[in-house]
Chain A
């Protein structure tokens, strides 16, 4: 006699289901939480804190410029280098923004570059704000710089309001400067 085929039951093992959910749900939550995040907007532990002090000599020489001395108005600090293509791309936007916003202090800080190359770069593409030389990278370390370009927006009280990673356009600069101005009120 041929035995009848046992009826196939498609049922979910609750233990497997629970373990699967425990593993999958946190991963899904992380994915969903980061879906809308702007990759250029890197959360720095310095945002909301006082901007690290520095005193650096401008490219081409002269008296050192200290951040403390420009306190009282919004400051835009742009870390850049001549070997960095995105820095070249944003140079015009930063220069135009600095000309159009006389109530904001723009400062460039040269990152891992040679002074002669920087001078040549600025001779060919005049800037509307001073660039400072950071030969030992102390300012870059104090600001937690990973690469260039990175730009910090500081309010009038000397607090970092935003950090932007990557090349900026005039509209991005204007929007972030507006936030730095709001922070000063």
Chain B
């Protein structure tokens, strides 16, 4: 007798005193007695697809049980079908899968606790973003005065305030520097070309 067979014999000896449970007939733990009607025919097919669309296939990337061709998804769909035929309702069936896989298995998270953020967070974010854009647009339309005078220092000076081309700063060092730059850039230190100055 192999070790595995011996271990199996041990389990079966232990089990021989009790009632035999048919294969795969474990009760649906934790979801209570069926609350809905026992479905069959086209209604059973439709409801199986409907509930399959609400369940995430655990071995796929973002696919529902109804859409996935994976064996696991097929098995889960068969489980949904079997439970609908026994009279379990949608919420009981979703709760059954949630007990083993967690809330992750629901493609539509139930509206409770932190899930409110998932449902209404994007809308709230959109509204907040719109409000910020509206505020910024209103602020820019009002001009520098509306901005609290913060940009006044950087506003373009009036034409009368601009120095003419041939002026130099009062500071002798700065004036010498301006002349040197003019010499390097244009070839003459004054503001105008000597040829044009007639």
Contact = CB atoms under 8 A, between A and B. Distances in A.
A46 B100 CA distance: 6
Contact of A69 (B18, B75, B79, B161): B18
B139 interface: no
Nearest to A113: B71
A45 B30 CA distance: 13
A177 interface: no
A2 B72 contact: no
Contact of A138 (B4, B15, B22, B26): B26
A6 B153 contact: yes
A142 B102 CA distance: 11
B149 interface: no
Most B CB atoms within 10 A — which of A49, A52, A70, A105?
A52
B22 A55 contact: yes
B183 to A, nearest CB: 18
Interface in A19-71: 44-46, 49-50, 52-58, 62-66, 68-70
Interface stretch (B6-14, B42-50, B84-92): B6-14
Interface string A63-105: 1111011100000000000000000000000000011000001
Nearest to A131: B4
Nearest to A71: B14
Chain A contact-residue range equals: 35 or more
Dominant secondary structure at the A interface: loop
Contacts of B71: 112, 137
Interface string A99-124: 10000011000001000000000100
B69 interface: no
A141 B100 contact: yes
A157 interface: no
B15 A66 contact: yes
Given A3-B157, A65-B8, A69-B14, A44 B102 contact: yes
5 contacts: A130-B7, A137-B72, A138-B75, A141-B75, A141-B76
Given A45-B101, A70-B14, A138-B26, 5 more contacts: A2-B169, A6-B153, A54-B24, A55-B21, A64-B20
